[in-house]
Amino acid sequence: MCVELFSLRDKVAVVTGAGKGLGKSMAIALAESGASVAVVSRTQSEVEEAAKEIRDNGGNALPLVVDVTREVEVVGMVERVMSEYKSIDILVNNVGAFKGGPFIESTIEDWKKMMNINLTGTYLCSKIVGMRMIEKQKGKIINVSSALGVLGASGSSAYCVSKGGVIQLTRALAIEWAKYNINVNSIAPYSMETETTKSMMEDEKVKKAVLSKIPLKRIGQPSDLSGVVVFLAASASDYITGQVIFVDGGFSVQ
C-alpha cells in the first residue's frame, strides 16, 4: 500500500528546464517512479541527451525544445504532449535564472530578465497546462522556487523578488484550484551543485561562506530533490497544497 502511494505508473509529467541540473535530475526521478516525462528546455542537445538517458534506463521520454517565456511555444508544447500522451498529470516548473550584484548597479533589463524567466514562465506553463488539468479535474503542479524567495539576500534583489513571486503564485493557485482537485506546491532549494554553481564553489572563500550558513555543512546535490518531487507528484501528497518545502540543509531555520 505504501509503495503504491509513491507510484507514478501511467502518469504523464512535464518538466521545464529539464535539460540539465536540477530539472534533469527531477525528470529522471519521475521517470524512475513510472511517469512518462516530457523533457523541456531551450537547448535541443540537452533535452535529447536527457530523454535518451531516461529511455536507456527503461523509461518513456519526449524531448521538447521550448522557450517557456513565449506563450505560443507553451501552447504548442501542451498540444504536442497531449497528442503524444493524451494527458498531463504533473507539471514541474523548474526553469530559472540568476544574476546577482548590487541593486543600485542593476539595470531594468536585468530586472525584466529575472521576472520573465523565473516568474512569467511559471505563470504561462501553469495557466496553459492548468486548463487541461481543470478539464480533467485533477493534477499536480510543483513550482521550483528558492529559499531566497522567502528570506532574501544581499546582491540578489531581482532573483529574490521573482522567486518570492513564484511562492505567492503557488499559494494563490492552491486556493483557487483546490475545487478542481489540483494540488499546487513549491520546492525551495538553497545552494545546490549544478553546472552553473560548480565553478563558484571552486573559490574556497565562497564555498566556506556558503557552508557556514548550512547546518548540514554540505552543498545540496540535484538528487536531493528527487524524493521531494516524487512525493509531491504522487498520491502520497494528495492532502498537501499551497506549501513550500525547503530543501536547503537547514539554511532556512537559522
Mean of the per-residue pLDDT values for the chain?
94
Q: How confident is the model at residue 1 (pLDDT cuts 50, 70, 90)?
A: low
φ/ψ (deg, to 5) at 219: -80, 140
The predicted pLDDT at position 106 comes to 87
pLDDT per position as a tens digit, 242-254: 999 999 999 999 8
User: Does 180 qualify as catalytic in the annotation?
Assistant: no
Instruction: Kindly tell me if the per-residue pLDDT of 88 is higher than 70.
Output: yes
pLDDT per position as a tens digit, 32-68: 999 999 999 999 999 999 999 999 999 999 999 999 9
pLDDT per position as a tens digit, 146-180: 999 998 788 789 999 999 999 999 999 999 999 99
φ/ψ (deg, to 5) at 11: -95, 155
Judged on CB neighbours under 10 Å (0-12, 13-18, 19+), 70 is middle
Q: Give me the percent of the chain exceeding a pLDDT of 70.
A: 99
**Residue ranges of domains in the chain, CATH in brackets:** 2-246 (3.40.50.720)
Q: How far apart are CA 87 and CA 13, in angstroms?
A: 9
Residue 23's alpha-carbon distances to 3, 85, 155, 238, in angstroms, are 24, 20, 25, 22
**pTM given for the model:** 0.95
Instruction: Kindly tell me if the per-residue pLDDT of 101 is higher than 90.
Output: no
Q: Which residues pair with 139 in a beta bridge?
A: 182
Instruction: Kindly tell me if the per-residue pLDDT of 191 is higher than 90.
Output: no
Q: How far apart are CA 250 and CA 231, in angstroms?
A: 20
**Catalytic residue selected from 159, 180, 190, 239:** 159
The predicted pLDDT at position 100 comes to 80
pLDDT per position as a tens digit, 198-226: 777 778 888 888 899 999 999 999 999 99
pLDDT per position as a tens digit, 234-244: 999 999 999 99
**Average pLDDT in the 114-132 region?**
96
Instruction: Kindly tell me if the per-residue pLDDT of 73 is higher than 80.
Output: yes
